[in-house]
Chain A
Amino acid sequence: MKKYILNTLFILLTAFGLTGCKDPLEEHNEVINVDNTIDVFQKLAAQPNLSKFSEYVRSTGYDQLLSSSQNYSVWAPTNDALAGLDAAIVADPAKLKEFVANHIALTTVTGPQTANDTLKVALINKKYATIIGNKFEDATVAGKGAFVKNGVVYSINQAVPSRLNIWEYMLGSTDAAAQTAYISTITAQVIDSANATIIGYDNLGAPIFAPNPPTVSRNAYWTNVADLRVENQQYTFFMLQDGAFNSEAAKLTPYFSFSDKFALVRDLTVKGLFTPDQLPDTLLSLRGVKIPISKSAIVKSYRASNGMVYVMSALPFRLKDKVSGFKIEGENPSSFRAIRTANTFYRLKLDDKGIQYKDIEVYNHGVAENYIRYLSSSVPLVKYKVYARAIAGNTGDAQVAAFTQRYFILNPLTSTIDAPVYDLFATQTVNPLNYNEVYLGDYSPKQYGLLDLRLTAANSTSVNVNTLILDYLRFEPILP
């Protein structure tokens, strides 16, 4: 009998010993107030003031998602907040699904540490929500989140319907019909490489598609200016009413010819979000062109999911901003007549004022009339004053004697594909240690578009005579 008592005591003691100790590590990692018995959807359904939202979740099928094993955050509007919801959303299952998805994120977002904590959260409808302190977009989060086994539920005091992105808004709007019509037309059909059948690869490793591959339409605005559909970037976009659009485009026609409208619309996008209260009087477009903004010309504004859209009655660009000068840098050649790598120097030197410059020198190349070719695209039709800077005889340079080099420019009117014609534009005598720009003459393009220029050496094979040196060419437009 005594033995049994002892044994029992012993077992009891062991049992206590086993259960009495809590792993300190476990204790440390413990999150307090987690209800690990239920999932997000059950939590949602259990809260009476969120019943409406949980009903929408159920009817859109997201209840399956919220019961799954991944972690979610839900910002659920209260029943009061949903009372004023647009009936069109409730009536249309697709819209309702989008609406519900705009409140769910595939991650567990913990509460803010400070009032200014800012977070951008990807929602499951591919949009992004901004959370600042206890604000979810415009709605206020009530209290702390309820953490459950696969996520967290917050209740908010306002419904947050999903917004259109800039591109969607532009296409759906009739406020700037001419501009929208123009932008919608600059599309090209490209091979849909995601869906095309690949039958092999060429020597360079590029895929070869089966004949007649499927194509998709791609807008030039996405690739050449900005893809306004992208949700994880923010842009400010201007839409011009028809009058303003036509008059601005007309201003550009003499300079940009057939490309006048594109020359206009490519400067209508600004990087970043500028809400009306923080709109300055001048913004810089993505290309760096000044956009003059008069607040009185703002007809309408829309806060899109990826930025801001302004409908403007006027946006009077200055001609000198739109038709700007340009530079051709000597050290960025397009090609050579004869490649003489061992004689071609991409140089970094100091000028007489101690300022660094980069240039190119082709020295002792032994090719009569060797040339360096430079290309510049989309050159506006306007008369330019052309200046060249070419420095010979600086430290380390063997070219210490004066020499002559010539500039030829392609004439698109007299050229044929087989016989390009280059007109002599200027002859430059490069005197040693002349650090100044030299005025070469005035140049008027024959056509809008490509400038094709050759910097040509003397017709000689002699060293120190057929040298080519160029720091840069500067084209300065002469505007009325």
Chain B
Amino acid sequence: MDFNKKVVAIFTVAILATSLWSCKKITDEVPEDKLDISNAYRNVADADAAVIGLYGQFLSLEKTYILQNELRADLVDVTANADPYLKQLANHTITKDNPYIDPRPYYKVILNCNDILKNFKIMADNFRMSVDDYNKHYADVGALRSWIYLQLGIQYGSVPYITAPIENVDDIKNLSNYPRIPFEELLTRLIDFTEKLPYKEVYAYPSGNPLVITIDGNNTQKIFICKPFVLGDLYLWNNNYVKAAENYHKIMNVENDNTNINFAYDAYKIGYYLNSAYNDQSVRYARSQDESTLLYDQGWKTMFSSPNTGNVWNMEFLWGIPYSSGFKPGNPMIEFCSPLYGKYLIKPSNAAIDNWNAQRQYNGIPYDARGRLSYETTTSGPAITKLTDNLIPVSNLNKGGKWGIYRAALLHLRMSEAANRDGKGKLGWAFLNIGIANTFYVGTRTAAGAAAPVSFEEINTMASPYGYPFNFDARFNGDYRSAWYRNTGIRNRAGVTALNVSFQTDVIGLEGKLIDEAALELAFEGNRWPDLLRIARRQNNPAFLAERVYQKLLKDGDPNAAAARAKLMNPDNWYLPFEWK
């Protein structure tokens, strides 16, 4: 070996050696733009971030939630643009490969909940979070998980109830082997879990908590689940009416002591219009009798179009999550509902439209204006607007909106259902029709028919004569106003005539009317299938469900109408096939 060659060889070895030692293994590098598990859950700010992230993920369930709950029921049908899978949902010919019945989106969120709950526990054990913070955060995530499980039970009947976190891939593969528990047992276990949550107030986080802020024009207070509501619903599904009513009662009276009297009298009270945005949830006309003067940018419709910082929204809604027009995902229902900015895949069924047209208003107009305010008639056909209403109208550049889940009218109908089943049909009738004071008042009236009590005895008849949780005080006169004095009833608020008082003592009859009212007031909001299913189960009356679906398909000319009815007369067919894919 000559000198040159030697030098070259040494250099080569040296260079090779340097390059080997100077490199850190790529697998050891900590990524700068990803959060590693070791960096998460270190303090309460991380807990806040986890909750916000969870709700962001939860938002993706709206599409599934609305489609499964509305399309399978009687108020929504598919348009000619819809794909065969949507059609299957609408006429109950679902095949197992249908992507809209995949339970995995629900479990994605549930597994995330489980993981968060476990970590919150670790944080609390390691004193990284105060007990108070832990209670609120844990209860919030826990209640949300219960709500999702309730949905799963409603849709699939028997489902695996997984509450432990899953961290590795093999466990996910084994999910399909997880034992499934029937709906009844699921309800019991959900009630048990939810009832034991350490924090069960109406608002998940009180004002002042860092999670309650106004950001991008939206307030975050009510993007979190209302725990008494989900608990009340669980009890109602379990036919435990007093416990359900207790929870609903708690929400209905939550603002009674608010020093802002607008909150005290209008929040979740279904009041009449008193020239204020706080109570502008009524169906209103610029000129009574004249249908062309129906108000769209005031009154009932603004409950849906107002931003969640608006008083009209705030006095009605208990749980709703806004979509920002500024960033993704945007309101997913635009794609489904809008002929202009979406694909127009679903529409109000003829049965739903007929429901509205069968109502009569006090001003003589022979239909329920809530229909006109829930859908619009376009050149393509009737199009649902309720799910895409927004202060700044939806457009290609503005895909904003809200997913409204819980609101006062739903609350009052559920309370009425519980009261009716507990033998307080008159209270249920009052909430449904003309309000507490009007229903219960016995005494002197003016020539125009308004209550004008002349004695304490007469004033005292304005309150519901029942004990907790069915006590509602609506007493008022010139000097005194109780918390419920503005309550006017759901039908009265919409200007439609009251039902016959005979329903006050007709449990089955009133129960049906409450569900009928939900079709008018809550149409398209995702409550329909659960409502029909709950009553059909409770009354052990498959026709309650099957007949309504049949009427939808019949009126929309679906050849599968009779077959769908026959199918739904068997309770086993009420549930979707549960398929891990």
- CB within 8 Å of B: which residues of A? 342, 344-350, 356, 361, 394-397
Contact = CB atoms under 8 A, between A and B. Distances in A.
7 contacts: A345-B287, A346-B290, A346-B291, A348-B291, A350-B366, A396-B364, A397-B289
Contact of B364 (A342, A344, A347): A347
Given A342-B287, A347-B290, A396 B361 contact: yes
Interface string B255-294: 0000000000000000000000000000000011111100
B362 interface: yes
Contacts of A395: 360, 362-364
B287 A349 contact: no
A345 B366 contact: no
B30 to A, nearest CB: 46
Nearest to A358: B291
A347 B285 CA distance: 12
Contacts of B292: 346
Given A395-B360, A396-B361, A356 B366 contact: yes
A277 to B, nearest CB: 35
B366 A347 contact: no
Nearest to A361: B289
B491 to A, nearest CB: 15
Contacts of B366: 348-350, 356
Nearest to A341: B287
Contacts of B360: 350, 395
Interface residues of B, number: 13
A367 B290 CA distance: 21
A345 B291 CA distance: 9
A397 B361 CA distance: 12
Contacts of A361: 289
Shortest 5 CB-CB contacts between residues of A and residues of B: A396-B364, A396-B363, A395-B364, A345-B290, A345-B289
A349 B361 CA distance: 10
A361 B292 CA distance: 14
B365 interface: yes
A350 B365 CA distance: 8
A336 B44 CA distance: 70
A298 to B, nearest CB: 42
B474 to A, nearest CB: 26
A361 B360 CA distance: 20
A349 B290 CA distance: 10
Nearest to B364: A396
A361 B290 CA distance: 9
B365 to A, nearest CB: 6
Nearest to A360: B290
A344 B292 CA distance: 11
Contacts of B290: 344-347
A396 B288 contact: yes
A350 B367 CA distance: 10
A397 B291 CA distance: 13
Interface string B352-386: 00000000111111100000000000000000000
Contacts of A397: 289, 364
Nearest to A355: B366
B287 A348 contact: no
Given A349-B364, A395-B362, 11 more contacts: A345-B287, A346-B290, A346-B292, A347-B365, A348-B365, A349-B289, A349-B366, A350-B360, A396-B288, A396-B362, A396-B364
A347 B366 CA distance: 10
Contacts of A356: 366
A146 B180 CA distance: 67
A350 B366 CA distance: 6
A396 B287 CA distance: 11
Nearest to A359: B289
Nearest to A356: B366
A348 B368 CA distance: 12
A449 to B, nearest CB: 32
Contacts of A350: 360, 364, 366
B522 to A, nearest CB: 25
B447 to A, nearest CB: 14
A350 B288 CA distance: 15
A6 B288 CA distance: 96
**Most chain B beta-carbon neighbours within 10 Å: one of A342, A344, A346:** A346
Contacts of B361: 396
B364 A394 contact: yes
A397 B365 CA distance: 11
A346 B289 CA distance: 7
Contacts of B362: 395-396
A321 B288 CA distance: 41
Nearest to B288: A396
Contacts of B289: 345, 347, 349, 361, 396-397
Contacts of A396: 288-289, 361-365
B364 to A, nearest CB: 3
A35 B452 CA distance: 95
Nearest to B286: A342
Nearest to B287: A345
A136 to B, nearest CB: 34
**Most chain B beta-carbon neighbours within 10 Å: one of A394, A395, A397:** A395
A353 to B, nearest CB: 12
A346 B363 CA distance: 12
A345 B363 CA distance: 11
B168 to A, nearest CB: 42
A395 B288 CA distance: 11
Interface string B330-351: 0000000000000000000000
B67 to A, nearest CB: 34
A344 B290 CA distance: 8
**Most chain B beta-carbon neighbours within 10 Å: one of A345, A356, A361:** A345
A361 B287 CA distance: 12
Contacts of A342: 287
Nearest to B366: A350
A134 B362 CA distance: 64
A314 B361 CA distance: 56
Contacts of A345: 287-290
A347 B365 CA distance: 7
A345 B360 CA distance: 18
A345 B292 CA distance: 9
B25 to A, nearest CB: 41
A356 to B, nearest CB: 6
Contacts of B291: 346-348
Nearest to B497: A395
Contacts of B364: 347, 349-350, 394-397
A378 B76 CA distance: 49
A396 B292 CA distance: 15
Interface in B277-336: 287-292
A397 B288 CA distance: 9
A342 B365 CA distance: 18
A434 B289 CA distance: 18
A395 B495 CA distance: 13
A397 B287 CA distance: 12
B198 to A, nearest CB: 53
A81 B556 CA distance: 54
Nearest to A363: B289
A214 to B, nearest CB: 39
A349 B291 CA distance: 10
A395 B290 CA distance: 12
Contacts of B287: 342, 344-345
A327 B428 CA distance: 49
A470 to B, nearest CB: 14
A397 B363 CA distance: 7
A14 B363 CA distance: 85
